[in-house]
Amino acid sequence: MAKYLKQDDLGSWLKELGKTYKVIAPVEEGDAVIFRPLTDERTLRIDRQATQGPKGVLFPACEELVSFKYGKDPEKPEKVTVDIQETVDAEPTLIFGSRPCDARGFDVFDNAFTKCSVKDSYYMARREQAVVVSLACTKTETTCFCNWVGGAPDGKGGSDVLLTPITGGYLVESVTDKGAALLDSPLLSEATGEHTAEAEKLLAAARESLREAPDFKCVPEQLYNLFDNMDFWEKQAAKCLSCGACTYLCPTCHCFNITDEQQGNQGSRIRSWDNCMSRLFTEEASGHNPRPTKAHRLKNRVGHKFCYFPDMHEGHIACVGCGRCIKSCPVALDIREVVTAAKECRLPEEETADD
């Protein structure tokens, strides 16, 4: 089912949806574009890709898992009591204005948090109450490569509704039943053949504008082959600062740290984003660190996305090609180049076998 929404009615539609949902959308903040609860004071910015995707809406940068309080048993003062409260924080939420790649990032999260034997109840509670309204891309950026990793500028994975900007408004298509319910609004009218034809034309041009997708089939195997080739990884990681900006901006990165933050007798156990570019990421209590250098860490990041994750989740690559790790990397390290280099790297054994 496809509908049409006039540009002038977008605000009203979001207001209307705001009665049922907490609406989170990309807004201007300083020189960045960030997903925030939409309010009258904030300016919606959907003309360029947000600096950071909306992953924090479902997987917050920091969340309290439980709060705890130590006390004394009045009967037996030597005994310490602990009162623990689980914190579940989920409400009906509408994510508006994510790009198709951002939405696909939630597929990766679903695989990691809801489809394994251990389910993440915090994420699941939020995911169940969330509805994702994405905006198809009619312009692609130099860093975009969704088509390399199974997506598209009009990809529907992870979205409940897909909007395509056309003359004077949007073509609005529902992807899931959850999404279809949003299209009941009187502000939307039936889309005409002209609307759909224009959208298809713009989207075809957008798909066309992306660089041709290389064949990535052999990549997991190549990455395993290169696992011990530290010379390769050191060269690839030479310019990396090991800062982690790439992972915090990435719509698919989902590693976290858990710490107890205590003041006096009470505190909370929090989960906060962690990332494999940080040295402390895998430091063991013994002091041993399996990823002691930035080269080991870059290997982990690329390996996790293009090899280990697909291995565990039916070939699903854990990169959606949004290009943020390239665009916002302080040194413009390009993950496409690393994967391509891995793909093309001839191993020393192969060379000798040929000789």
Report if residue 116 touches another protein, rule: CB under 8 A: no
Indicate which of ligand SF4, another protein, none lies near residue 127 (CB less than 5 to 8 Å, by partner kind). Answer: none
**What is the C-alpha to C-alpha distance for residues 136 and 154, in angstroms, rounded to an integer?**
5
On whether the CB atoms of residues 106 and 175 are closer than 8 A, the answer is no
Contact between 142 and another protein (CB under 8 A)? Answer: yes
Judged by beta carbon, residue 111 or residue 300, the one nearer another protein is 300
Q: Which of 38, 46, 58, 146 binds ligand SF4 (CB under 6 A)?
A: 146
Binds 153: which of another protein, ligand SF4, none (CB < 5-8 Å by kind): ligand SF4
Site for another protein in 320-339 (CB under 8 A): 323, 326-328, 330-334, 336
Phi, psi of 124 (to 5 degrees): -60, -40
Query: Does residue 321 bind ligand SF4 (CB under 6 A)?
Result: yes
The residue type at 196: T
Tokens representing residue 40 in the block: 């009258």
Phi, psi of 178 (to 5 degrees): -55, -40
Q: Which CB atom, from 159 or from 188, has the smaller least distance to ligand SF4?
A: 159
Q: Which two tokens stand for residue 65?
A: 């898992």
CA 276 – CA 291 distance, rounded (Å): 9
Contacts of 66 (CB under 8 A, 6+ apart): 84, 85, 86, 87, 268, 269
Q: Applying CB under 8 A, which of residues 6, 42, 139, 178 lies at the interface with another protein?
A: 139
Q: Which of 320, 308, 335, 140 is nearest to 246 (CA)?
A: 335
DSSP 8-state assignment for residue 100: H
| Site size toward another protein, by CB under 8 A | 48
Nearer to ligand SF4, 307 or 335 (CB): 335
Give the footprint of ligand SF4 on this chain (CB under 6 A).
49, 99-101, 137, 140-141, 144, 146, 151, 153, 240-246, 249-252, 277, 305, 319-325, 329-331, 333, 335
